[in-house]
Amino acid sequence: MREKIKNQINKIPLLRSLKVRIFLLLMVMGMIPSYVTRTALLHNYEERAVNVKISEVSNQFKIIANHLLTYNYLRDTSSEVINAELNQISNLYDGRVLIINSNFKVIKDTYGISEGKTIISEEVVKCFKGENTTYYDDKDGFIEMTIPIMDSVTENRGNEEPAQIKGVLLSSISTDTIALTISILQRKAFVLEVVMTILILVMSLAISQFLILPFKKVTGAINDVKEGFTDEAISVPDYEETQHIVDAFNKVLRRMRTLDNSRQEFVSNVSHELKTPLTSMKVLADSLIMQENVPNELYQEFMTDIAAEIDRENKIINDLLTLVKLDKTDGEVNIETIEINALLELLMKRLRPIARLKNIEVILESNRSVQAEVDEVKITLALSNLVENAIKYNKENGWVRVTLDADHQYFTVMIEDSGMGIPEESLEHIYERFYRVDKSHSREIGGTGLGLAITRNIILMHRGMIQVSSIEKEGTTFLVKIPLTYSK
């Protein structure tokens, strides 16, 4: 339900603005009290004015009722004093007075219309029973009331004996004066309300504009950063909320700067790495050009070196392309259920010739048969890099042992070697692009510094992990752990 209302509100373009919402809220909050106050006051006034009128008129009529008895008016309506009194009071209150005797007969009507008629209305009957009635008709603007004409002696006896009601004074008086006052008040209230509305409107506009200012500052500060990309963090401490926003933005900014720095570093590393083989080729070629009558053997030797440098350049470019592809197609993997034992056997078979050059013994130990959901090409590349490193950074007559194992959730591949090991301070850097412990040695044996970065990328893609432990001059152990079932 709340969602529905929210969606509906968001569909109105104007209501999507916080400023408009604050403005409307202030307007409503300003207008409602003024409307309620006006209505309540006018209603209160009307009620009070009617009550005052009723009590005033009923007192007057009570006095007249007494006079009626004194002058025995119920039997003889010729008394001029009473008639004058009745006319005067009906003129004064702009009303009509009827005197009804105990036979329900109208003996006097100040309008002179109903005299002699019989009136048996509810009010009159009630009044004869001792109940005074008053009725206010606000639509037609009159008050109707009945006053009993009681024997004053009987009346004074109180409740001991029922009062003897000799007749009823039925009157209706106009409330036009009250209505007039109300309409004047209403007009004044309306003018006041219009003035207040204008005041509230102006204030709401100003306040909503003012309250929104810090958010404008946030936008301005963010826009400035977009243009300048300076190092400093932005701050808009006007509200806690705006500070939260800019804090979050600063965090993103820091991450972007770090990314930008590492991108720049990567680009400069790539340029440097690509330039090194080119410089070698240039030196080799120049020295051939500058010499005259170069012997054939020297040509042969230099050209062989140039070809080696071209191979190296090619390898760097290929590794870079692999890395870029892995980055770009993050998550795009070709998953199949693969027998890892067979995969490792094939991999070892391919690498054995390189190991043989240094007379290194390569051993594969499969503790159990393992089937797992992996991208065959990528996992082969990742594990090849590790076994190749174990051979490359090994000593003559050394050994490399690859052990495959699994539990119900993961399979593990451990690659141990008897090589030169990795210094402790280098361990945290080996997965960085182009990082090599010994640059010249690595170059000699054809390393690009990209192998472990590629390997780590592939393993993370499979939601796996890689660990390394090493003792210098003794050897290195890499442990790869990958889930048997692939999850995105």
Q: Is 129 exposed, middle or buried (0-12, 13-18, 19+ CB in 10 A)?
A: exposed
Q: Which of 110, 204, 457, 476 binds ligand ADP (CB under 6 A)?
A: 476
Q: Which of 85, 442, 457, 461 binds ligand ADP (CB under 6 A)?
A: 442
What is the smallest separation between the CB atom of 429 and ligand ADP, expressed in angstroms? Answer: 8
Work out whether 171 is an interface residue with ligand ADP (CB under 6 A): no
Q: Are 360 and 391 in contact (CB under 8 A)?
A: yes
Q: Which stretch binds ligand ADP (CB under 6 A): 72-80, 89-97, 199-207, 436-444?
A: 436-444
Q: Are 388 and 454 in contact (CB under 8 A)?
A: no
Q: Which of 436, 461, 466, 481 binds ligand ADP (CB under 6 A)?
A: 436
Beta strand residue intervals within 254-348, DSSP E: 335-339
What is the smallest separation between the CB atom of 477 and ligand ADP, expressed in angstroms? Answer: 9
What is the smallest separation between the CB atom of 270 and ligand ADP, expressed in angstroms? Answer: 14
What is the smallest separation between the CB atom of 420 and ligand ADP, expressed in angstroms? Answer: 5
Q: Which stretch binds ligand ADP (CB under 6 A): 138-146, 259-267, 359-367, 446-454?
A: 446-454
Q: Which of 182, 246, 452, 482 binds ligand ADP (CB under 6 A)?
A: 452
Work out whether 97 is an interface residue with ligand ADP (CB under 6 A): no
- Cβ-based nearer residue to ligand ADP, 372 or 452: 452
Residues 449 and 466: their CA atoms lie apart, in Å, by 17
Residues 442 and 431: their CA atoms lie apart, in Å, by 15
Nearest to 138 by CA among 69, 77, 47: 47
Q: Are 53 and 173 in contact (CB under 8 A)?
A: yes
Nearest to 336 by CA among 486, 487, 488, 457: 486
Residues 196 and 38: their CA atoms lie apart, in Å, by 12
Work out whether 277 is an interface residue with ligand ADP (CB under 6 A): no
Work out whether 447 is an interface residue with ligand ADP (CB under 6 A): yes
Nearest to 446 by CA among 327, 357, 364: 357
Nearest to 272 by CA among 444, 438, 433: 433
Enumerate residues 6+ apart whose C-beta is below 8 A from 395.
358, 418, 419, 420
Residues 77 and 68: their CA atoms lie apart, in Å, by 9
Nearest to 422 by CA among 372, 358, 467, 380: 467
> Which strands sit side by side in the sheet containing 106-109, from one edge to the other?
106-109, 95-101, 165-174, 142-150, 133-137
Q: Which of 108, 348, 417, 464 binds ligand ADP (CB under 6 A)?
A: 417
What is the smallest separation between the CB atom of 424 and ligand ADP, expressed in angstroms? Answer: 12
Q: Which of 385, 412, 418, 457 binds ligand ADP (CB under 6 A)?
A: 385
Q: Which of 355, 422, 458, 459 binds ligand ADP (CB under 6 A)?
A: 422
- Cβ-based nearer residue to ligand ADP, 95 or 419: 419
Q: Which stretch binds ligand ADP (CB under 6 A): 110-118, 129-137, 241-249, 434-442?
A: 434-442
The backbone torsions φ and ψ at residue 405, rounded to the nearest 5 degrees and listed phi first, read: -145, 170
Q: How many residues bind ligand ADP (CB under 6 A)?
A: 23
Work out whether 390 is an interface residue with ligand ADP (CB under 6 A): yes
Work out whether 420 is an interface residue with ligand ADP (CB under 6 A): yes
Q: Which of 89, 170, 430, 461 binds ligand ADP (CB under 6 A)?
A: 430
What is the smallest separation between the CB atom of 474 and ligand ADP, expressed in angstroms? Answer: 10
What DSSP element (H or E) covers 467?
A: strand 465-471
Q: Which of 451, 459, 461, 482 binds ligand ADP (CB under 6 A)?
A: 451
The backbone torsions φ and ψ at residue 170, rounded to the nearest 5 degrees and listed phi first, read: -105, 125
- Cβ-based nearer residue to ligand ADP, 287 or 318: 318
- Written as six digits, the tokens of 226 are 């977009």
- Written as six digits, the tokens of 157 are 């006896």
Q: Which of 136, 239, 302, 435 binds ligand ADP (CB under 6 A)?
A: 435
Using CB under 6 A as the binding rule, the residues of this chain from 328 to 367 that contact ligand ADP are none
Binding site for ligand ADP (CB under 6 A): 385, 389-390, 393, 417, 419-422, 430, 435-438, 442, 447-453, 476
